[in-house]
Every structure is written in C-alpha cells, then in structure tokens.
Amino acid sequence: MARGRAGTAGKRSELLNDPRRNKGTAFSLEERREHGLEGLLPPAVETLDRQLERVLGHLAAKPSDLERYIYLIELSDRNETLFYKTVMSDPARFMPIVYDPTIAEACLAFGHIYRGANGLYVGLDQKGRIAEVLRNWPVKDVAFVCVSTGGRILGLGDIGANGMGIPIGKLQLYTACAAVPPQSLLPILLDIGTENAALRADPLYLGLRRRPPETDELDAFVEEFVQAVQDVFPGACIHFEDWKGDDALRLLARYREKVLCYNDDIQGTASVTLAGLTTALQIKGEVLGDQRFLFLGAGSAGIGIAEMIVSALCREGLDEAEARARITLFDVNGLIEPSRTDLTPQQKAFAQKAEPETDFVATIERVKPTALIGVSTSGGAFDRKVVEAMCQLNERPIIFALSNPTEKAEVSAQDAYAWSKGTVLYAAGVQFPDVAVDGRTYHPGQANNFYIFPAIGLAVYATRPQRITDAMFIEAARACADQVGPDLRAKGMLFPAQRDILQTEVTTAARVAEFIFDRGEAGVPRPDDIRAWLEGLLYKPGY
C-alpha cells in the first residue's frame, strides 16, 4: 500500500534528490510511509539539530578549508535546509569557508573539484537563444540574478568559467547573512571565453576554449542577456559581479538607470569602505569633509570607492569640484595626472593638476593624505616606508588594505600595527587574526562587502524599487557604521562583530528600506513597522 501511495520509484528518488524538499533522516515515519521512503533511510528519525551535530563533526574531521568548502557545496546539493542551518549557526566561522578567502582556492581548482552545476551557464555560442536558455531554470519567481564572466575574480584575474564559484557564493551569503529566501536566487556564468591560456589548455577546464570577444560583440551579448532577464524573470535584480574593470564601469553606467541592477565590486566595495571610514572618523572625532584620500589602484573598485566618497561629500555640503580635489589616485604607472595618455574617462575625472610621479612615498609626502586606500591587488605594496610616512603625517593614520585574497593585501594587520606602533586605524578585505603590540591586543577590521550587499538585497527584495541608487549604498554604509558601539570602537574595530551578522544585516536593511519608502521609490505599500515587516519575510532554515 505504501508503494502505491508513493507512486513510482522515480518519484521517491526525486524527493530524496531534491535539495529543497529533501529532509534526509528527518523524514517522519508517517512521511516515509506516505512517500514510499521506508527502507531507503536508516530507521532513526532525527531533528534538524541532530543532523547539524553530525555535519559539524564531519567538518571538524576535514583537513583543510577547501575540503570543508567541497563538503558544504555537496551538502547544499542534497539538503539545502541543512546547509543553511549549518552556515547560519556560526556565520563568523563559515563565511570564510563558503566565500573569501577559501572561495579563491576553490575557483582556481573549480574544474577539478566540480560536482554539479549549481546555477546556469550561458555561453557566447548561445547568442540569439539566451531567453530560451534562461527558461530552463526550474524556478520562475527569481528575485536576484548574480552574473559574472569570470573576467576579474578577486585578485586572481581572468579565470573564465572557473569564476562560477563567485556568483554561487555571493548568493549563498544573501541567505546566510540576511536571510533572503534562497529559492529566489539564481547564479549565472556568462561564458565569453578567457584570456587565460593555461586554463584553455587544461583538460578539466569546463568553459569555452576561446578568447573573449571584442567590446562591441560583448556588449551586444550582454544587451541580449539583460533584456532576456527582463522577459523571463520580470522584476529580478541583476547583480553584476567580478567583471573586468572597464567592462564593469561601462556596463553599470549603461544599465543602472534602465533596469534594476547594481555592481557589488563597484558600489558594494565603495559602501563598505565608506562604512569603515565613517567609524574610523568617529574614533578620531573628525568629519569626512576634512579628509584627504590617496588610493593605490585605480580600477573599477578604486573608481567606485572614489565616486561614492564624492557623493557622500556632496551630501555633506561640498560641491563636486571640492569633493574630487580631496581624492588622489595612483596606479601601476604612477600618479593619475592630466599629462598621462593611458587614462580612462573615469580616471580622468580624478586627474589632479600635478607633475608626473612614480614614487608612491613621495606622493604621500606631497599629498599629505589622512587615509590610504589600497585596491591594487599588489601584495605588500604598503611597506614599512609607506606606513611610517603615513604615521609622520597623522597621529592616527587610516590605512585600508582591501585587496584579496590574503596574499594580495597591500599590508598585513601584523605589519600595519607593528610599524605604526598601534596607532593605525586598519581594515583589510580579508579577516586577519588579532595582533598584539607592546602588550595591547588590536582587532583588525574586515572591510568585506558581506556587511552591505546582503542587506541591500533584503531591502530590495522587500521594497521592490525600480532602480538601485548610490544613495541607498551610502545609507547602508551609515547604518553599518552606526552599529559599531563605543566598546567596539575602543578596541579599534571599524565594523560590527560578525557573530551577530544577521541582526546587523536586518538593521541595515531596515534603514535602507525606510530610506526607499521615504523617497517614494518602493513598489509596495509602506508597512507601519518596517523592522517587524522585514523580519516576517526572513528565511528560517527548518523542515
């Protein structure tokens, strides 16, 4: 009788292999009889907490974080609820495993550790049929599409289809950090080929073995993709992630006023940097308008941060020319100044009237910055001379080494605190351990976008605006900084504690949602209690 009620063996197998419906050993005895699962599972009926206990034991036995990453991805493939129960049980522990820095190692080995698709692959050879390919995704009510070409993954450069680990990981953080329902999230890899000859020659590489197209062909492909998303998933937000710098800036400028979209590498990085700067200035008792900023790196991340600082300064009363005069950019070819012929239009907007200079320390001495921001992917670029030059100019210098993975950081936390004798206000793109200098322990900040983009995602998911603006990211930065209390600031911490990431994100999302409602940009009626309304929308892992 149980067999008849369950239907075919294929249906039973489908249930156990559907990660969204599978409960594994948590299926009750009644459910096992009803669905024909008797004998297909061990006799014990377990709670979700008991299953979590077993998962934690498995993870503890793994020899490396990469092996833990592989295990967790496999877990998400067979039991999504248990996967999120795990990562949400201790976000500070698991974020570095499912995302940065372990994700960098996973992406480099992606073709070799591949287990399943976990998203959609849309190739250049499918041009003209992109909407047809998108319709193959089984979920139709998609709220967010995170899309990458793999063209500039973290500090790894162009790794093509191996970059799929990034949109997968980013969207997992939407849920793990801000409880955005996972069924509404779609990772996509736009496979346009890769410049990486070693990957093209790797027999286990999973992408197209060709070079990327010229700009015009790429833009036509992206245009078809963007319009296909509007058709197949109307109302979905496109989250551009880890595109090459020029492509990232150009495409964000093209689409930000046309469709619901944002670029996390540009706007999310800028927002979390602004949050850290805001906290650092609260510690110093200073204001943004009195600062001078020197950047090492002038790619999409550097330009995005600089532009958001300009926007924030203008909101505080400076005109645009005054705001831009506070910012100096320096890249691999030296100071960004008007005589250079290799500048993009976005870089030209920050070209200061100055003589050419290729010595970074000399530029520090000339510009006299109060804050140093590294987005160069040049590991160790902020050497002892750089840190000491900043200390000679500032009682408490602000130094952000934002490049990742770990080996790409411009200066480690250990060196920054030691060389500054503990006076530096420091943040990195990765999490460094605490540092002891002269008997005092310092807590380096992590200026990681996960403080911002999941909260933006939750606010957008709830309020359904037509567009995402820089003003929303500035509000998110301020909301994040406001959650660093005096006790944390006294320890030199520039960001909220990661152990409370869900509450931090919901608080930030509530601020952003209120901001959206106040400006009449929401696509839903305003609730009486925005915080309570948001909390009612949160995903909670459970059977």
- pLDDT tens digits, 72-96: 999 999 999 999 999 999 988 999 8
In terms of Cβ atoms closer than 10 Å to its own Cβ (0-12, 13-18, 19+), residue 70 is middle
Q: What share of the chain is helix, strand, coil (3-state, %, to 5)?
A: 50, 10, 40
pLDDT above 80: residue 10: no
SS (H, E, C) 37-94: CCCCCCCCCCCHHHHHHHHHHHHHHCCCHHHHHHHHHHHHHHCHHHHHHHHHHCHHHH
Average pLDDT, the chain: 94
pLDDT above 60: residue 447: yes
Q: Please give the Cα distance from 404 to 155 (Å, whole number).
A: 6
> How much is the average pLDDT of 233-237?
97
Are the beta carbons of 150 and 244 closer than 8 angstroms?
A: no
pLDDT score, position 9: 55
Cis ω before 43 (30° cut-off from 0): no
Are the beta carbons of 80 and 129 closer than 8 angstroms?
A: no
CA distances from 325 to 293, 316, 409, 480 (A): 9, 15, 27, 27
Structure-block tokens of residue 41: 């599972």
Q: What is the CATH number of domain 267-447?
A: 3.40.50.720
Report the share of the chain in percent with pLDDT over 90.
Answer: 87
> How much is the average pLDDT of 409-414?
97
CATH number for 1-46: choose from 1.10.510.10, 1.20.1370.30, 3.30.200.20, 3.10.350.10: 1.20.1370.30
Provide the edge-to-edge strand list for the sheet that holds 120-123: 120-123, 185-191, 144-148, 237-240, 261-263
pTM: 0.92
User: Which one from 23, 69, 84, 99 is the annotated catalytic residue?
Assistant: 99
pLDDT above 60: residue 328: yes
Q: What is the largest CA-CA distance in the chain?
A: 87
Kindly indicate the confidence band of residue 259, based on its pLDDT and cuts at 50, 70 and 90: very high
pLDDT score, position 156: 80
Torsion of CA 29, 30, 33, 35, to 10 degrees: -110
Annotation marks residue 170 as catalytic: yes
> How much is the average pLDDT of 464-478?
97
pLDDT above 50: residue 6: no
pLDDT score, position 7: 47
Kindly indicate the confidence band of residue 349, based on its pLDDT and cuts at 50, 70 and 90: very high
The C-alpha R_g of the chain, in whole angstroms, comes to 24
Assign residue 368 a region: left if phi > 0, alpha if psi is -120 to 50, beta otherwise? left
User: pLDDT tens for residues 154-179?
Assistant: 768 899 999 999 999 999 999 999 99
> How much is the average pLDDT of 121-148?
97
pLDDT score, position 129: 98
CA distances from 287 to 283, 291, 305, 306, 476 (A): 10, 7, 17, 16, 18
pLDDT above 50: residue 424: yes
Beta pairing, strands 371-374 & 398-401: parallel
User: Which one from 23, 170, 244, 408 is the annotated catalytic residue?
Assistant: 170
Asked whether the domain spanning 98-259 has the same topology as the one spanning 1-46, the reply is no
Amino acid identity, position 428:
A
CATH topology of domain 451-537: Rossmann fold (3.40.50)
pLDDT score, position 74: 95
pLDDT score, position 2: 41
pLDDT above 70: residue 3: no
Q: Please give the Cα distance from 462 to 345 (Å, whole number).
A: 36
User: pLDDT tens for residues 514-540?
Assistant: 999 999 999 999 999 999 999 999 999
pLDDT above 80: residue 496: yes
Q: At what angle do helices 165-178 and 501-518 cross, to 10 degrees?
A: 90
> How much is the average pLDDT of 503-511?
97
Assign residue 354 a region: left if phi > 0, alpha if psi is -120 to 50, beta otherwise? beta
Alpha-helical regions (H) of 79-151: 80-89, 91-98, 102-108, 110-113, 130-134
Q: Please give the Cα distance from 305 to 379 (Å, whole number).
A: 20
Q: Tally Cβ neighbours within 10 Å of residue 152.
A: 25
Q: Please give the Cα distance from 136 to 143 (Å, whole number).
A: 16
Assign residue 116 a region: left if phi > 0, alpha if psi is -120 to 50, beta otherwise? beta
DSSP 433: P
Q: At what angle do helices 91-98 and 501-518 cross, to 10 degrees?
A: 80
CA distances from 373 to 61, 276, 363, 418 (A): 39, 11, 14, 19
Question: CATH homologous superfamily for 98-259?
Answer: Malic enzyme, N-terminal domain (3.40.50.10380)
pLDDT above 70: residue 66: yes
The DSSP H or E segment spanning 387 is helix 384-393
Domain ranges of the chain: 1-46, 98-259, 267-447, 451-537
